[in-house]
């Protein structure tokens, strides 16, 4: 048996027995290349209406991709992409993007935005789910440092009950937000650097 044949046999057998428990950084990096056109090579999107997915919690990324794949969350681009993903792909991509560093926001919050933004997040108890620094946890996304345009669009969709929601919590929470607070909240969250 030649060395080339043994290598080929190992590759075939490893593909047959591949399970999500073998998910990892390198597999995720390789699979993420198709994501780079929109979300950036390292998950830092340069487009204001496309979210940065670097440093998002791993479980959140898996959940979001699953919701797109199963049609529980709609997006022309993401639904088509996600429908082809296996559970192993979800885990590999989440492993890679969750470990990437989110680039710092380009500007500091103005004092009035900072104080009013904190007031809105405290009044509406955003930190109960998104954590004290608003960096997310488990299936709950990081808000700190996300694009302002994207955040505002998502808040409006939640308020109008038009966005896929894992358990209905965000749709319910957004109902309590005043329309004039949505812009301020999106601006505040986009300037946080945690």
**Tokens at residue 149, please?**
């345009």
CB atoms within 10 A of CB 24: 12
Q: Give residue 23's pLDDT.
A: 58
Q: What is the mean pLDDT of each run of 10 residues along the chain (194 residues)?
A: 43 40 81 96 96 98 96 94 96 97 89 95 96 97 97 97 91 93 96 88
Angle at 103 between CA 166 and CA 32, to 5 degrees: 60
pTM: 0.85
Q: Give residue 114's pLDDT.
A: 94
Spatial contact of 91 and 173, defined as CB atoms under 8 Å apart: no
Q: Give residue 24's pLDDT.
A: 86
End-to-end CA distance of the chain: 55
Q: Give residue 14's pLDDT.
A: 39
Q: What is the rounded distance in angstroms from the CA atom of residue 23 to the CA atom of residue 34?
A: 18
Q: Give residue 22's pLDDT.
A: 52
Spatial contact of 78 and 7, defined as CB atoms under 8 Å apart: no
Q: Give residue 21's pLDDT.
A: 47
Spatial contact of 63 and 139, defined as CB atoms under 8 Å apart: yes
Residues 162-169: contacts with CB under 8 Å, at least 24 apart: 163/73, 164/67, 164/72, 164/73, 164/74, 166/63, 166/67, 166/139, 169/129
Domains and CATH numbers, the chain: 21-98 (1.10.760.10), 111-191 (1.10.760.10)
Q: Give residue 70's pLDDT.
A: 96
């Amino acid at each position: 048996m030649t060395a080339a044949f043994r290598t080929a046999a190992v590759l075939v057998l490893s593909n047959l027995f591949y399970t999500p428990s073998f998910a990892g950084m390198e597999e995720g990096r390789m699979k993420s290349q198709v994501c780079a056109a929109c979300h950036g090579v390292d998950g830092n999107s340069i487009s204001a209406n496309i979210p940065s997915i670097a440093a998002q919690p791993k479980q959140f990324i898996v959940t979001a991709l699953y919701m797109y794949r199963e049609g529980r969350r709609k997006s022309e681009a993401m639904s088509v992409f996600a429908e082809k993903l296996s559970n192993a792909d979800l885990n590999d991509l989440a492993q890679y993007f969750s470990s990437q560093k989110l680039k710092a926001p380009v500007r500091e919050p103005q004092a009035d935005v900072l104080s009013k933004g904190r007031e809105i997040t405290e009044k509406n108890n955003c930190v109960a789910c998104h954590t004290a620094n608003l960096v997310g946890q488990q299936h709950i996304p990081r808000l700190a440092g996300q694009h302002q345009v994207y955040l505002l669009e998502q808040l409006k969709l939640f308020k109008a009950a038009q966005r896929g929601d894992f358990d209905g919590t965000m749709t319910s929470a957004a109902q309590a937000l005043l329309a004039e607070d949505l812009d301020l909240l999106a601006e505040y969250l986009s300037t946080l650097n945690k």
